Amino acid sequence: MNKTITIDGLSVPFQEGQTIMDAALAAGVYIPRLCHNPEFKPHGSCKLCTVKVNGRNVASCTMPAVEGQQVLNDTDELNADRLALTQMLFVEGNHLCPACEKSGNCQLQAVAYYLGMMSPHYNHFYPQREVDASHPDVILDRNRCIYCELCVRASRDADGKNVFGLSGRGIQSSLVVNSASGRLGDTSLAATDKAVQVCPTGAILQKGKGFTVPIGRRVFDHHTIKEIQTGGGHD
């Protein structure tokens, strides 16, 4: 007999060892997320997937599912917190969607639309961040990095290269690359690496390929991120 939890009153089965996020994904229940990608070990840093379990806020991507958990997910309170977190991500970096190649394919933008973000709300930090275009095939635009570390995990766990890492703490954090010069072009990164494909924003892009996908054919032009990440999903 399957073990189950409930998410917003819906009975959701899970296997031993799965997280709440794993169970939700398997059941087609959408929990907003940015740093979580089912292909990689959970990270629990963006906190967008925070749900309420028996009255406590927890990151659903790292919290193991336990028989009988009553999980609240799609509530006004949690979605308001998620909106605020998303707005903070926007103002901490330099996310200029109108001129970004990833617009329409960007998970940060799609989550913002899903949560009904109409403005950044908070004052922009306008940080000074570097663009590293030294690699022949890949461009690293730190202005758009949200420190999800998906590229770090992908390079380490899938590509076996350890090209990316985070340096510094808090607001001083920055995405660094593993070369003596500090330049992407001097690393072993290849354009075909998983680390290049996995960025949820426009921080890591194929070089020289701007705007080749026309408006109307981008991932989120016709589907919400909920539809894409659940394959149809529950309302």
Partner 1 sequence: MTFELETAANPEKLRRVVIEPVSRVEGHGKVTLLLDDDNRVHQARFHIVEFRGFEKFIQGRPYTEVPVLVQRLCGICPVSHHLGATKAMDMIVGAKLTPTAEKLRRLMHFGQILQSHALHFYYLASPDLLFGFDSDVAKRNIVGVAAAYPDIARQGVALRKYGQEIIRLTAGKRVHGTGAIPGGVNKNLSREERVFLRKDIGQIVAWSQAAVELIKRIYTGNPDFHNGFGYFKSSFMSLVRDDGALDLYHGGLRARDEHGQDIFDHVDYGHYWDYVHEEVRPWSYMKFPFIRSRGREEGWYRVGPLARVVNCDFIPTPLAEAERKTFKEFGGSSATQATLAYHWARMIEMLHAAEGIQELLLDNDLSGDDLVNAGTPALRGVGVIEAPRGTLIHHYRVNEDGLIVRANLIVSTTHNNQAMNEAVRQVALQYLDGQEVTEGLLNHIEVAIRAFDPCLSCATHAVGKMPLEVELVDAGGAVVSRLIKSPDGRCGI
For the chain, first and last CA: distance in Å?
A: 27
Site membership for partner 1, residue 209 (CB under 8 A): yes
- The first and second tokens of residue 23, run together, are 């169970």
**Residue 228 parent element (H or E):** helix 225-230
State which of positions 108-147 bind partner 1 (CB under 8 A). Answer: 131, 133-134, 139, 141
**Residue 10 parent element (H or E):** strand 10-14
Q: What is the DSSP letter of 218?
A: S
Task: Give the number of residues in contact with partner 1, rule: CB under 8 A.
Answer: 20
Of 84 and 190, CB closest to partner 1: 190
Site membership for partner 1, residue 180 (CB under 8 A): no
Site membership for partner 1, residue 212 (CB under 8 A): yes
DSSP string, 107-147: HHHHHHHHTT--S--SPP------EE--SSSEEEEGGG---
The interface region with partner 1, picked from 36-44, 46-54, 207-215, 227-235 by CB under 8 A, is 207-215
The Cα 76–Cα 57 span in angstroms is: 14
**Candidate residues 98, 170, 231, 232; the one interacting with partner 1 per rule CB under 8 A:** 98
Site membership for partner 1, residue 196 (CB under 8 A): no
Of 41 and 209, CB closest to partner 1: 209
Judge contact between 183 and 132, C-beta under 8 A: yes
Cβ of residue 139: shortest distance to partner 1, in angstroms?
6
The interface region with partner 1, picked from 1-9, 15-23, 73-81, 204-212 by CB under 8 A, is 204-212
Q: Which residues bind partner 1 (CB under 8 A)?
A: 98-101, 131, 133-134, 139, 141, 207-217
